Amino acid sequence: MFRPKLPTMPQPTGIVTPPTVIEPTRITPGTPTTPPAPAPVPASTRPTIQLTPGTALALVGGGTAVVLVVGAVLVSMLLAVAITGASVAVCAVVLRSLLASDARRR
C-alpha cells in the first residue's frame, strides 16, 4: 500500500533501424599554413566621459542623498520592529496579570 509504483519503460513502436557502423576518417598531413596577419583595430567612435569638477560634485551629492535615504528607510523599519516588539511585550504582561488575578478569585 505504501510502496511507490514505478512506471515501466515504454517499448519503442514502429520500425526500429539497427545501429550503423561509423568508420574513422584518416588524417592526411598537408602543408602547414601561416596564420593570417591580425587586422588593425578601428578607433572607437564613442565619446569618452570627461568628469568636470561640477559633474564630480553632482555625483558625490547624488550618492550621498541615496545613502541618506536608504539609511533613513532602514532605521525607520528597525524602529517599527522595536516598537511592535515592545507593544507585544506590554500586551503579554497585561494579559498575564489579568489571567493570574482571575485565577486567584476562584
Residue 48 cell numbers, joined = 569618452
Cα separation, 45 vs 22, in Å, equals: 52
The per-residue pLDDT for range 40-90, each reduced to its tens digit, is 777 777 777 788 989 999 999 999 999 999 999 999 999 999 999 999 999
Rg (CA), the chain: 39
Name the most confidently modeled range: 19-28, 33-42, 72-81.
72-81
Query: Measured between alpha carbons, how far is 56 from 67 in angstroms, rounded to an integer?
Result: 17
Q: What are phi and psi of 18, to 5 degrees?
A: -70, 155
